[in-house]
Structure 1
Amino acid sequence: MLNFETRVGPDLGANAPSYPLNEVPEWYRDAKLGFFIHWGLYSVPAWATAHGEGGVPTEESYAHHQYAEWYGNTVRIPGSPSWVRHQEKYGTGTSYEDLAEHWDAGNFDAAEFVGKLRAAGAQYIIPTTKHHEGFCLWDTDTTEFNAVKRGPKRDLIAELGTATRESGARFGVYFSGALDWHVSDFPPIESDTDLFRFRRNDEQFAKYSAAQLEELVERFSPDILWNDIEWPDGGKDNTEYSVAALLRRYFDAVPDGVVNDRWGVPYHGFITREYRHVENIIEQPWESTRGLGYSFGYNQEEGTEHSLSGEALIRLLVDVVSKNGNLLINVGPRADGTIPELQEAAMLAMGAWLEVNGEAIYGTRPWRRPGDALGGSPLSYTTKGSDLYVLATDPAAGFITLPAELRVAGELSWTSDAGAPAVAAVGTDGVVAIPAELCGSAVAVATISGAIQP
């Protein structure tokens, strides 16, 4: 996967624009857990090749794309599995865009949907307002190709925005800035090189993208602008529709807002890592993002072998937070607006764990290193004020071994939903038993009070 912060666009020399100086706000760093919602025309077929960790040969990766939200591209690659299935299911006369007439979101209740994300621990929620297919989920004035005029016949972003804000969570928007297959006439993308070659960079398209983003900011005042696959090069200069001007106006409208790094310009907010394991602490605020399975959009081909269990999801969250990151986990609803049971099961498990152990996640910062493996359960660490949280990520081991600099603490307190914390002494060898009632947990949490000195 790409590191988008390394892509900074054309060299404009003395004509390069100036960008805002806004830092990543503390509320974002404190939030730790957000939910993506990938929902669009691709949710109608809800299909992609399910190949998981093993993957496929690089030269086949786009024809066998594991992201169901890329169906609109994959279906145009002759002979691809999606192309074959589309002919069988919808017939040769049905284009991808015709699927808008098949999209019935009749079971979608925004308050209920958002309630499930909040119960899973979400502090911010980011739906896809427009993915690469170009179908807009809000009542836009820029195109008739939207969810109010076609398909659901509803302003889905307005509904989600209202429900999110009423729930007390922050609301963000995902926007595909430089890819829009509805207003483009390129061959299908079949390689990473094509990803940047087969896209519009002209001034007219830059103005089109800018007008859509301006609508989203004006109508929803999003706390997060999450752009994807950069911005058209025709909008990276000093004009009023350029990225620099858009970001200045955004921060004027939402002073404590935040953006990501996928604009293809020198300005970055938080940096992103997609389906990537990060080895160590990243000093700059960053966000790990992935689906509960191997696709963001719902892929009906995925089963339990392709999806994160509740335990795996909790351990992923702990790992990311210990390294100074936020986790943006994705839910991919069915076309009708319901959450598949496999995804919901993992969400419920994470929510239950956070209900007990959230103090070790929300509002924390990393320690001097993310963790240790000295015997017994591997450890991850987070801090808050003067407290250090020790997170045992394999509590079935029955014990942990603390590093030398923590053995002087004297004692630690295990967090449990069974009542008062269980206090345990720390011996000179650093070995501490994990209480029996916590050995079946995904992650057991202990607190060493006063371990962090000013």
Structure 2
Amino acid sequence: MTGLSKRTFLSTPLLAAAGLGAARVAQAQGCAPVAPGPYTPPPLASGPFTPAAESLRQPAIPAWYRDAKLGIWSHWGPQAVPSRGDWYARFMYVPGHPHYEHHVKTYGHPSEVGYKDIIKRWKAERFEPEALMDRYVAAGAKYFVSMGVHHDNFDLWNSRHHRWNATKVGPMRDVVGDWGRAARKRGLRFGVSEHLGASHNWWWTSHQCDQFWPKLGVAYDGAKPENVDLYHAPHDTPYLNRGGDWYTTNPKFHEIWYRRMVDLIDSHQPDLLYSDGGIPFGAVGRSVVAHLYNTSVRRHGEMQAVYNHKALGSGEFIREVGAQDVERGVLEGINPLPWQTDTSNGDWFHSEHDHYKTPAQVLTMLCDIVSKNGNMLLNVVQRADGTLTPESDLLMTEMAAWMKVNAEAIHGTRPWKTHGEGPTEAASGAFQENTAYTPQDIRFTTRGDVLYALTLGEPKGAVRIASLRQANAHDARPVRRVELLGAGPLRFRQSGQALEVDVPERLPSRHVSALRIALG
């Protein structure tokens, strides 16, 4: 590499300044390597939960989460500034990637103008959390999740352990705190998401250099020792390059992650914590989950917190700990345990060239998820200044109108004997959300003795429901009454083939219609 000579780069003072322990210094200088021991978190505050996996399997999912069904997520931060979409901070350091090309053309070469300079451009000057929360409540959200920190290693709260945070750089405000106050004022449960676990390996690209002229060998700004607390210490464990892993085995980073997660929980007392992956770092990650649970018990007298993690990628996945999260996808059929889809109406960060989901796509996906015992956590794309894109604005307007008529078929419901019927089924698993439903696709929910049938499209003429034919295997009681939410009672016929319901030509809501059905 140039810019820093190999001798300078491997000097003991410089490596020490980069936060490397004596073992790494010795290894870098060619001495016999000494493997660092695992990080052991300090003792937790007292409470019923411990980092043991069996201890964390004990709590049931709290009723508030099972009743909520819809959460809104602000997956928002400095990476919205270039308006080029997700993972900008990583790929601006990858020559040949469109993010790199955009960065060089718009801001300068990443050896001179790096992601640290993008952070300084993020001002969030039109961010109005109170007004936005009113929109989200009207759209049916019962919980709200603020990003706490993305893979970019930038904390959105007043972090005690990290100078790269939103109160000291960029917006100069506690973004997590602002969201939390607005959500709780309106009776919403409040959560935070952490993507920090993957940051160590994800940021490997910032330590590299161009392999061509005119900047051949000139190190990017991530390799400079004065930036080590943002880009992490030099290492050779890249993610998705030469077999790298999502989570690092570096115990020093495990400690960094642990201290910042405990600070996030203690500072903002979330009702939900989302990890973008499996439970990070074994017992270290389980210690954070135990801390989340114990602080919830101290606040409420019982455990009211939810932990979301994924079976996708590395990390520890324990199905009975918290609620499983499926990124941009669904599970098959009715899952016995509550679970969650996390998705976005567009890219994860604002992109000027984005393709957005329509309101119909979001609402039909929501109904399918709820019928299978799941929740939807929906990111609503914001521009860097804090405002909604036109597509996000339209989605919130359409969802508010739909929820005004049909919310009772969603919130507080439970699955029926079968999740639904019809010609269309979504493929199960992550990144499987391009399902085109029809009005003949029906999804069921229940509330007490009431059954709801939701048409995943706008029906015309009659709705035919084979699952409710006479003497069906799900519930043999006869249908006594059928109403269309927002319109009132409808004529129906129940035969040995199906329940047929005549629907009016003028429907009370767009996209999905909900029938309230009384049996007995």
Please confirm whether the aligned pair reaches a TM-score higher than 0.5, indicating the same fold.
yes
Question: What letter corresponds to residue 229 of structure 1 in structure 2?
Answer: G
Match of 1:208 in 2: 256
Match of 1:326 in 2: 375
Query: Are the structure 2 counterparts of residues 370 and 16 from structure 1 closer, same or farther at C-alpha, using a change threshold of 3 Å?
Result: closer
Report the RMSD for the aligned CA atoms in angstroms. Answer: 2.4
CA distance in 2, matches of 1:368, 1:212: 44
* Cα shift at 1:96: 1.3
Match of 1:150 in 2: 169
Matches within 5 A, 1:31-430: 31-48=68-85, 68=86, 70-92=87-109, 93-180=112-199, 181=203, 182-186=231-235, 189-190=239-240, 193-196=243-246, 199-230=247-278, 232-233=280-281, 236-237=282-283, 242-254=284-296, 255-262=303-310, 264=316, 266=318, 268-293=321-346, 295-302=347-354, 306-373=355-422, 377-403=440-466, 405-407=468-470, 409-417=478-486, 421-428=488-495, 429=497, 430=499
Identity of aligned residues (%): 29
CA distance in 1, matches of 2:143, 2:502: 36
CA distance in 1, matches of 2:502, 2:264: 52
Query: Are the structure 2 counterparts of residues 162 and 450 from structure 1 closer, same or farther at C-alpha, using a change threshold of 3 Å?
Result: same
Query: Are the structure 2 counterparts of residues 334 and 185 from structure 1 closer, same or farther at C-alpha, using a change threshold of 3 Å?
Result: farther
**What secondary structure, in the 3-state scheme, does the structure 1 residue paired with 2:506 have?**
helix
Query: Are the structure 2 counterparts of residues 22 and 328 from structure 1 closer, same or farther at C-alpha, using a change threshold of 3 Å?
Result: same
Contact 1:411 1:423 in 2 (8 A): no
CA distance in 2, matches of 1:444, 1:364: 16
**What secondary structure, in the 3-state scheme, does the structure 1 residue paired with 2:273 have?**
strand
Contact 1:356 1:415 in 2 (8 A): no
Contact 1:206 1:231 in 2 (8 A): no
Match of 2:222 in 1: none
* Cα shift at 1:41: 1.3
Query: Are the structure 2 counterparts of residues 400 and 289 from structure 1 closer, same or farther at C-alpha, using a change threshold of 3 Å?
Result: same
* Cα shift at 1:395: 2.8
CA distance in 1, matches of 2:508, 2:172: 50
Question: What letter corresponds to residue 77 of structure 1 in structure 2?
Answer: V
**What secondary structure, in the 3-state scheme, does the structure 2 residue paired with 1:161 have?**
helix
**What secondary structure, in the 3-state scheme, does the structure 2 residue paired with 1:133 have?**
coil
Contact 1:381 1:388 in 2 (8 A): yes
Contact 1:36 1:329 in 2 (8 A): yes
TM-score of the two chains, using structure 1 as the length reference: 0.83
Gaps in structure 1 of 5+ consecutive residues: 1-9, 49-67
Contact 1:357 1:415 in 2 (8 A): no
* Cα shift at 1:232: 4.8
Query: Are the structure 2 counterparts of residues 107 and 322 from structure 1 closer, same or farther at C-alpha, using a change threshold of 3 Å?
Result: same
Between 184-193 and 390-399, the greater mean CA deviation after superposition:
184-193
* Cα shift at 1:173: 0.4
Tell which structure's C-alpha radius of gyration is larger.
Answer: 2
Give the aligned length: 404
Deviations 1:118-173 (A, max 9, x none): 12111111111100000001001111111111111111111111111001100000
Contact 2:345 2:357 in 1 (8 A): yes
* Cα shift at 1:186: 5.0
TM-score of the two chains, using structure 2 as the length reference: 0.73
Deviations 1:358-413 (A, max 9, x none): 11000111111111228972211111111110112233342211226454634433
Between 33-42 and 368-377, the greater mean CA deviation after superposition:
368-377
**What secondary structure, in the 3-state scheme, does the structure 2 residue paired with 1:447 have?**
strand
Gaps in structure 2 of 5+ consecutive residues: 1-37, 39-50, 204-230, 297-302, 424-437, 471-476
Deviations 1:169-188 (A, max 9, x none): 00000012422233254576
Question: What letter corresponds to residue 444 of structure 2 in structure 1?
Answer: Y
Query: Are the structure 2 counterparts of residues 380 and 148 from structure 1 closer, same or farther at C-alpha, using a change threshold of 3 Å?
Result: same
Between 114-123 and 130-139, the greater mean CA deviation after superposition:
114-123
Contact 1:272 1:289 in 2 (8 A): yes
